[in-house]
């Protein structure tokens, strides 16, 4: 069973003397702005930015945006690098005619498409077995022989030999 305890303090705090606290604050060098009763403020005052500084920062971010987009950076990496949100990045890119690639898959280049009915002779199979015995992985063998990974695996099935598996901690 759960026992609920009251979170109220056991003693009541001494009432604060507001006028004494204000006098102590002013004595330490603090400044209090007095707002007339006729005026009201809903939002805190915003700091005034120097237009030259803001323009310089914008130009620096624009140059960095162009460089990153040229390298193929996506929106998430732009957010991290520019320290801006997606909406501001898109707006800046649209204003200056920069096209952002929103999704570009990362792929390893494959060898040129080869016809699937290509006969692979015994010499190629012998080379694949030799590279396998030397400890090369299937993608490396495919690259050496100019084949696709699927063709090398099919070659192993056809000639009934297994390729060496990479070590358990190694991700290739």
- Separation between Cα atoms, residue 91 and residue 93, nearest integer Å: 5
Tell me, what DSSP letter sits at residue 39? Answer: -
- Separation between Cα atoms, residue 65 and residue 82, nearest integer Å: 7
Q: Locate all alpha helices (DSSP H) within the chain, ordered by sequence.
A: 18-27, 51-70, 75-82, 86-95, 122-133, 138-145, 149-158
Q: Hey, what are 49's tokens?
A: 């930015």
Confidence (pLDDT) at 46: 59
Q: Hey, what are 161's tokens?
A: 């030999």
- Separation between Cα atoms, residue 129 and residue 48, nearest integer Å: 72
Confidence (pLDDT) at 62: 92
With vertex at residue 106, the alpha carbon angle to CA 116 and CA 172, rounded to the nearest 5 degrees, is 75
Confidence (pLDDT) at 63: 93
- Separation between Cα atoms, residue 32 and residue 158, nearest integer Å: 87
Closest CA to 109 of 80, 145, 139: 139
Neighbouring C-beta atoms of residue 88, cutoff 10 Å: 13
Query: Could you state, in chain order, the average pLDDT of each consecutive group of 10 residues for the chain (172 residues)?
Result: 61 66 86 77 59 79 90 84 89 90 58 54 86 87 89 87 67 52
Q: Hey, what are 51's tokens?
A: 């237009």
- Separation between Cα atoms, residue 154 and residue 150, nearest integer Å: 6
Q: Hey, what are 59's tokens?
A: 């130009």
Confidence (pLDDT) at 32: 81
Confidence (pLDDT) at 44: 61
Confidence (pLDDT) at 117: 46
């Amino acid at each position: 069973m759960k026992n609920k305890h009251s979170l109220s303090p056991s003693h009541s705090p001494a009432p604060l003397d507001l006028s004494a606290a204000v006098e102590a604050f002013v004595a330490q060098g603090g400044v209090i702005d007095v707002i007339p009763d006729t005026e009201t403020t809903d939002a805190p005052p915003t700091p005034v930015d120097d237009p030259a500084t803001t323009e310089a920062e914008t130009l620096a971010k624009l140059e960095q945006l162009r460089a990153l987009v040229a390298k193929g950076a996506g929106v998430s990496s732009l957010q991290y690098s520019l320290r801006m949100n997606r909406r501001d990045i898109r707006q800046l890119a649209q204003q200056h005619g920069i096209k952002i690639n929103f999704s570009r898959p990362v792929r390893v280049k494959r060898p040129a498409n080869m016809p699937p009915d290509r006969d692979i002779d015994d010499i190629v199979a012998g080379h694949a077995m030799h590279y396998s015995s030397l400890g090369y992985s299937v993608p490396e063998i495919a690259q050496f022989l100019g084949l696709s990974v699927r063709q090398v695996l099919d070659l192993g099935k056809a000639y009934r030999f297994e390729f060496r598996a990479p070590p358990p901690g190694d991700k290739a």
